[in-house]
Chain A
């Protein structure tokens, strides 16, 4: 959580210095949501994200350097600098990406879960994947699919939940309910905002509302749900109550909420609360707190060092080569040639003359 927060603070600085382009949606405040849920699943459970995705990428184990370089649009980024902030992909970590179209990731979650169940029940072996050799025995999996409260209103989610309910697909839809979709509060944007579970129940999906600001309680409630979905191969839905401290993106006058509201959430900050718990409430066998002041500040220093290194890595990395423009559009046996039109006539990428 501390790593994510420090990372985001440095992203904001880099954005203000115009080193990060386009958009930058910070995760500050919501850290416990990604950390508490991702730690409840296995490293080879598929995960698919919305666009506010740096925090999850780090929590899932993405190298902070690759993450920061992607923000900078550099060639060493996780998507070779061609995707930016909303496109954090990490195939070896079973991270199937951030998605810039709100809601578009939700049917993908159903599909990933479908494949997992197919491996288990029909194929009787794992599909070949990075780190998974052909013919490996199948594992019971569960897919985590994250979405914001704004995505509740996209048709794609409802089609996906219906499919997941109908076919009993092991996918957990985690709504990171931070109360706002850009400038629109959840009550102004969706029906049944006080009882989101009703939406899932309509598709035969069970689930629960969880406090996303208390990391321990979150984990304790979420883990059994994951285990249940894995065991029974069924879908679930989680209304994870959380809050973002910063604006929607870096240019947001925030006319839609009050300073008091933001302060009230900050007073319950998940990192502060957890640190306080470890430093004064929970004691070890020696009767002393499990986390000392000194150890805490060591962690802080360590996190700062790691993020500083990530920034330095991103800054020192090269911008993508021009040949990248034509790379990875389709399978292309002639790198540097246009994958469609001019490619068939054999014309080279005009940028590479």
Chain B
């Protein structure tokens, strides 16, 4: 794991930071409740909600039956009535049974009722590959939900971003899917401000400045990109953008950077076809056409079902593939 300036020995992991945000918001706002399979007594499969039931009681950190459709639909009802529910779906693949409730209901209520009923719902979902698990436990479905208007899609990569974005998501009047990159749940610590703060949804973060090429990524791929940047020759000056929010995404930040560098590589774990990387490429050519010095490259997962353990690392974008794409784009 490459080091970013914020990484320190002591501090919070991604899991700790999300737990702290949940805890602070439950303290501040009695309308906030957490619910999901084993989130209470067990503290969640990844222990993200550890201690919340002990602290806030079983009425506010609720163990549900194994019923994703029920969990999601009930959360939507709670939100309609003015609560701030935070359901947890144990792995991104289990969004399947909840899909109808999310896409056909949560996402559409504001529009369907012409603003009379809104759904302030935050769905927490461990997401992405890299933990040697099979399909349903390693997928990257962020584009599916971005393709369903009415829902915000947030994908933090670091503990401090996760805390600020989660607090913003809970306070947001619309449904937000909050994808947590499980690959880096515990892989490093960061200094995270103790106080309450929010990071605006829809704003990207510039991680490194550069002049020759822009890399756009999000989630755990941020760290694959940082590692790649560490190993690039000195004469390659690359700007790295962590998108942080997928919907709505920060097109201004991406366009400003690509107008400056003239080249762009997008890196994501999800399959390539019809993905967020496709959307970014299209937006870049619409907005930066006359500035482009090379076609936009996409380094992605492949158009196949996420394979189990032994092929997983071949599937996920790694520094070798990212560096190659950067090299090709610079040499174009």
Q: Which residues of A contact B (CB under 8 A)?
A: 21-23, 73-74, 81-87, 100-104, 150-151, 153-156, 181-184, 188-190, 253, 255-256, 319-320, 322, 324-326, 329, 338-343, 349-351
Contacts and interface: CB of A to CB of B under 8 A. Distances in A.
Given A151-B66, A329-B303, 9 more contacts: A23-B137, A101-B136, A181-B66, A182-B42, A189-B65, A189-B66, A340-B303, A341-B303, A349-B302
B282 to A, nearest CB: 14
B97 A351 contact: no
Contacts of A101: 93-94, 96-97, 136
Contacts of B66: 102-103, 150-151, 153-154, 181-182, 184, 189
Contacts of B41: 183-184, 255-256
A153 to B, nearest CB: 4
Give the most central of B134, B308, B315: most A CB within 10 Å. Answer: B308
Contacts of A341: 272-274, 303
B311 interface: yes
A83 B70 contact: no
B302 A82 contact: no
A326 B38 CA distance: 36
A351 B302 contact: yes
A267 B94 CA distance: 36
29 contacts: A22-B134, A22-B308, A23-B134, A74-B310, A81-B310, A83-B135, A84-B133, A85-B134, A101-B94, A101-B136, A102-B66, A150-B66, A151-B66, A153-B70, A154-B68, A154-B69, A182-B66, A183-B63, A184-B38, A184-B63, A255-B41, A255-B42, A320-B310, A324-B311, A325-B302, A326-B304, A342-B272, A342-B303, A343-B303
Interface residues of B, number: 37
Contact of A21 (B69, B135, B305, B308): B308
Contacts of B6: none
Contacts of A103: 66, 97
Given A182-B42, A341-B272, A341-B303, A84 B309 contact: yes
A343 B273 CA distance: 11
B320 to A, nearest CB: 11
Could you tell me the dominant secondary structure of chain B's interface residues? loop
A137 B224 CA distance: 58
A338 B311 contact: no
Interface string B97-134: 10000000000000000000000000000000001111
Contacts of B310: 21, 73-74, 81, 319-320
B36 to A, nearest CB: 11
Contacts of B302: 325-326, 338, 349-351
Interface string B127-155: 00001111111000000000000000000
Contacts of B303: 326, 329, 338-343
B174 interface: no
B308 A73 contact: yes
